[in-house]
Amino acid sequence: MVGEPVNVNEFQELARQALPKMYYDFFSGGAEDQHTLKENVEAFRRITFRPRMLVDVSRIDFSTTVLGYNISAPIMIAPSGLHKLAHPEGEIATARAAAASNTIMVLSSVSSCTIEEVASSCNAIRFFQIYVCKNRDISAQLVQRAERNGYKAIVLTVDVPRPGRREADIKNKMIVPPLKNIEGLVSTEVDNDEGSILEGFSKEALDASLCWSCFTDTDFSIRCFSWCFYNVKVEDIGWLRSITNLPILIKGVLTREDAIKATEVGVAGIVVSNHGGRQLDYTPATITVLEEVVHAVGGKVPVFLDGGVRRGTDVFKALALGAQAVLIGRPVVYGLAAKGEYGVRKVIHMLKDELELTMALSGCPSMKDITRSHVRTEHEKIHSML
């Protein structure tokens, strides 16, 4: 590729050229047939616009708030692990890019840099993502460290009772460097002859029995809902709420049923996500189920979208279907791999520029002007032909 990239997609090729194959496959790959991975992107292309003409769009404002924090655009950085595999500065470079872009970074619990290192690197608004470990003390310590270091929310990932089958990592025998945030808390030396070391660690450390709980206002009795077919336990989302004052967002919801349960347990927000197509293959693209989740919560909590965003037009489509903001994962890593902190800033800047243009051409001078009537989904197009 000659010259500077002109869109976010071109950063992926630069990342492929810059990274060892094992690491590029780790970041870019999905589960099994990678159907969901591809659909996350393709599904956006099946949504079209219904623009409005003769609207004053001489000034465009796409600034917004998330949990009361002002950000420059409805574009946040999704949690993704091991950024030092993409660039020597790792998550510190990503955090600095978030600060420069005036947006929120969600730091992964399996980051290359520690909670404390990222916190001291810049003044970005930071959320912290966690999994719940079998040893709850580990998760509790991570949450408490995040709270002490100024992180503003906890993002609980709920779609990894077991790791998805990521066949590229299995073939590559993916080697994971030390997981800095949990060094000394859990063994990262896993004897695993079948698959990647990362997969083996996940199976050993993560709690597959995590389930829903509703706490009533009058007592501490618990009504449990089983998560798929895993054993119901008292230790659950209610436990997490009991150990922190930070708001909790739940990431990994794809259905109306789980969206309703999430509001019942008192989460502060929902991230519609299929883990970037890295968990259960043949789950729907997140943009196709966004509206289902938005309707289910009925405005009780904000809903965010994660997965497949590669253009400012994608951001607009998600907003029109009810998302308060989107999270971007792979594009950030590709920018980091290609050009470090500057690459991450460039990726965010490109998406902002494209969103601004989309808003102008659609007749939407501000976020509140973006409505459901500005887009037409594939289902609506098929229905109109019947």
Does residue 127 sit in helix, strand or coil? strand
> Is residue 71 over pLDDT 60?
yes
Any idea what the CATH number is for the domain that residue 123 is in?
3.20.20.70
Does residue 137 sit in helix, strand or coil? helix
98 in a structural domain: yes
**CA angle (361, 364, 368) in 5-degree steps:** 155
289 in a structural domain: yes
What pLDDT, on the 0 to 100 scale, is given for residue 238? 79
4 in a structural domain: no
Q: Is 188 exposed, middle or buried (0-12, 13-18, 19+ CB in 10 A)?
A: middle
Instruction: Say which residue, 237 or 108, is predicted with more confidence.
Output: 108
Q: What percent of the chain has pLDDT over 70?
A: 87
Lowest mean pLDDT segment, chosen from 48-62, 206-220, 317-331: 206-220
Catalytic residues: 275
What pLDDT, on the 0 to 100 scale, is given for residue 135? 79
Residue 252 host element (H or E) = strand 248-253
Beta strands in 254-382 (DSSP E): 269-272, 303-306, 325-328, 375-376
Q: Which two tokens stand for residue 115?
A: 């909670």
70: β partners: 65
Confidence of residue 62 (pLDDT cuts 50, 70, 90): very high
What pLDDT, on the 0 to 100 scale, is given for residue 229? 29
Strands 69-71, 375-376: pairing is unpaired
Place of tokens 């196709």: 288
Q: What percent of the chain has pLDDT over 90?
A: 72
In degrees and rounded to multiples of 5, residue 136 shows phi and psi of: -65, -25
Long-range contacts of 121-125 (CB under 8 A, 24+ apart): 121/92, 121/95, 121/96, 122/92, 122/95, 122/96, 122/98, 123/99, 124/95, 124/96, 124/98, 124/99, 125/69, 125/71, 125/98, 125/152
What pLDDT, on the 0 to 100 scale, is given for residue 209? 73
344 in a structural domain: yes
pLDDT tens track for 125-175 = 999 999 987 778 888 999 999 999 999 999 999 998 888 899 998 898 888
Contacts of 146 (CB under 8 A, 6+ apart): 107, 115, 128, 154, 246
pLDDT tens track for 242-289 = 899 999 999 999 999 999 999 999 999 999 999 999 999 999 999 999
What pLDDT, on the 0 to 100 scale, is given for residue 227? 35
What pLDDT, on the 0 to 100 scale, is given for residue 380? 72
Instruction: Say which residue, 139 or 209, is predicted with more confidence.
Output: 139
H helical segments located in 46-177: 90-100, 115-121, 136-148, 167-172
What pLDDT, on the 0 to 100 scale, is given for residue 283? 98
What pLDDT, on the 0 to 100 scale, is given for residue 314? 98
Of 268, 350, 328, the C-alpha closest to 78 is 328
Confidence of residue 80 (pLDDT cuts 50, 70, 90): very high
pLDDT tens track for 106-130 = 999 999 999 999 999 999 899 999 9
3 in a structural domain: no
277 in a structural domain: yes
Q: Nearest 10 degrees: CA dihedral of 353, 354, 355, 361?
A: 110
What pLDDT, on the 0 to 100 scale, is given for residue 183? 76
Q: Which two tokens stand for residue 191?
A: 């004897």
> Is residue 42 over pLDDT 70?
yes
In degrees and rounded to multiples of 5, residue 75 shows phi and psi of: -135, 115
Instruction: Say which residue, 242 or 333, is predicted with more confidence.
Output: 333
pTM: 0.90
2 in a structural domain: no
Can you give the residue range of the structural domain that contains 323? Answer: 10-385
> Is residue 333 over pLDDT 50?
yes
Q: State the Cα–Cα distance between residues 20 and 14, nearest whole angstrom.
A: 12
**CA angle (49, 52, 55) in 5-degree steps:** 140
> Is residue 345 over pLDDT 70?
yes
What pLDDT, on the 0 to 100 scale, is given for residue 182? 80
> Is residue 341 over pLDDT 50?
yes
> Is residue 223 over pLDDT 70?
no
Mean pLDDT of the chain: 88
> Is residue 296 over pLDDT 90?
yes
Mean pLDDT of 1-29: 93
Confidence of residue 232 (pLDDT cuts 50, 70, 90): very low
Instruction: Say which residue, 43 or 232, is predicted with more confidence.
Output: 43
- Half-sphere CA count of 33, side-chain side, radius 13 A: 6
Confidence of residue 185 (pLDDT cuts 50, 70, 90): confident
Instruction: Say which residue, 213 or 168, is predicted with more confidence.
Output: 168
User: How many structural domains is the chain composed of?
Assistant: 1
Cβ-count burial 260-293 (b if 16+ within 10 Å, e if not): ebbebbebbbbbbbbbbbbbbbebbbbbbbbbbb
Q: State the Cα–Cα distance between residues 94 and 117, nearest whole angstrom.
A: 12
Q: State the Cα–Cα distance between residues 306 and 281, nearest whole angstrom.
A: 16
Mean pLDDT of 324-337: 98
Alpha carbon distances (Å) from 174 to 133, 162, 322, 335:
22, 17, 38, 22
Does residue 122 sit in helix, strand or coil? coil
In degrees and rounded to multiples of 5, residue 70 shows phi and psi of: -75, 130
In degrees and rounded to multiples of 5, residue 285 shows phi and psi of: -60, 140
What pLDDT, on the 0 to 100 scale, is given for residue 295? 98
The DSSP code for 277 is G
252 in a structural domain: yes
